[in-house]
Amino acid sequence: MKLFISVLVLMLSLSLNAKEIPTGNPEREGMSSERLQHVAAMNDRYTEPGKIAGTLTAIVRNGKIVHQSASGKKGADDERGIEMDDLFRIYSMSKPITAAAAMQLYEQGKFHLTDPVSKFIPELKNLTVRKNGRVVPVQNQMTMQQLLSHTTGLSYGFDANDPVDQAYQKADLWSSKDLDDFIAKVAELPLLFEPGERWHYSIAVDVTGLVVQRLSGQSFDAYLQEHIFDPLDMKDTFFQVPQDKMDRFLPNHFLNPQDGKAVALDPTGIGMPGFESCGAMCNYEEVTLYSGGGGLVSTLRDYVRFAEAMRDGELNGVRILSPKTVAYMRANHLPASIAAAGGSGEQPNLNDITSLGGFGFGLGFGVVTDTTASGTIGSAGQYYWGGAAGTVFWIDPVENIVVVSMMQLMGGWPSYRPDLRVATYQSLLESYE
């Protein structure tokens, strides 16, 4: 009898789990059907002249899908229309997923945010930092909170003129066979600054993935599958694209500066100026290095499910995080002294975090602290991130709105994200602010 009840509970759980996010009447959810068509029209303005090959967009309000649209084609060299189940490289939109996984372990008491990262990754105990032209031992150990908020002193190695970033380039981190090999190389690299001094976009979330792996006792990919993807019924999110789904995996593109049109990249990713080699970031068939910072592939449907779950930690009766934990993650964790210092990264309006006020950073998300100062329409408290190939999402906790947009264009189109925000918010008939 007990076995029967257990099986019944499991079946009911799976049934709930499989529920799709319902489609809602826009007017009932305080949005205009007519004005939501501006979103589709805006997308067409980018795809029809070839600025973007194709894009998918979804808008959710009050837990109901009020808009979905597809515009354009699968690729610059592929005339087939883009489809709702197509697969996208989400690059840095992997980061919020990794952060959610880490905070699940936080809720279980596996770590405190004040813990040094070296408590879980001893390889990082004796780090160095470059100061005044010299490499010296660090004075402060980086903490888990700093790891999740990009204030560790780690980098990405993008600046060819910086000695630390030059060391990153020489280390060739993305050729690492796995996360243990990756961290062994990281341990030999100096930090850009003492932990906690500045904000700088970095490999910190890849390091977080290793923390998840070691604290859980599971490989990082297996942990995400069991604790994020399966509970949320994210059927098409993975590091390695299954062979039977390769036909849905869209090509990546870069922007031709001469004519402002999308140009398809070589399938290996090689061909974009400045990216002659990209190692693990171009390998989706034989993956052993699970990049929590940028390695995932997903669909519009799957990421909408994740983003909707991250409104308060729950989707369709399946809870992955406490509402209090989510609220803590989306709070600004940057002290005023470093809020506008150093680094660059994804922003919905493509403004560097140093360029404008009104932006902060939480635990895995960017945060809008002041819409006027940021030049960003929406609500203070909205949290967001994007990916290198133009994908973007945001969550507005005031208006109960989730927006996800997918494309495959390295760097995206500079004006696309602010245009999408305007098109979304002009559709409101009723504001909760």
- At 255, list the tokens: 């922007």
Give the integer Cα–Cα distance in Å for 41 and 34.
11
Domain boundaries, the chain: 24-95+222-425, 109-207
The whole-number pLDDT of residue 316 equals 94
Strand partners, 249: 87
**What are the Cα distances from residue 128, in Å, to 16, 152, 208, 341?**
50, 12, 19, 21
The whole-number pLDDT of residue 359 equals 87
The whole-number pLDDT of residue 10 equals 39
Q: How does pLDDT run along the chain (433 residues), one tens digit per residue? A: 443 334 334 334 444 446 999 999 999 999 999 999 999 999 999 999 999 999 999 999 999 999 999 999 999 999 999 999 999 999 999 999 999 999 999 999 999 999 999 999 999 999 999 999 999 999 999 999 999 999 999 999 989 899 999 999 999 999 999 999 999 999 999 999 999 999 999 999 999 999 999 999 999 999 999 999 999 999 999 999 999 999 999 999 999 999 999 999 876 554 555 554 555 567 798 999 999 999 999 999 999 999 999 999 999 999 999 999 999 999 999 987 775 544 444 443 333 444 457 889 999 999 999 999 888 899 999 999 999 999 999 999 999 999 999 999 998 999 999 999 999 999 999 999 8
Q: Are 385 and 401 in contact (CB under 8 A)?
A: no
The whole-number pLDDT of residue 263 equals 94
Q: Are 427 and 416 in contact (CB under 8 A)?
A: no
Beta strands in 265-378 (DSSP E): 297-298, 314-315, 318-319, 359-361, 366-368
Give the integer Cα–Cα distance in Å for 45 and 89.
23
Give the integer Cα–Cα distance in Å for 314 and 327.
13
Cα Rg of the chain, angstroms: 21
Q: Are 374 and 356 in contact (CB under 8 A)?
A: yes
Is the domain spanning 24-95+222-425 CATH 3.40.30.10? The answer is no
Q: Are 380 and 164 in contact (CB under 8 A)?
A: no
- At 97, list the tokens: 């997923």
Phi, psi of 314 (to 5 degrees): -140, 145
Per DSSP, the three-state class of 361 is strand
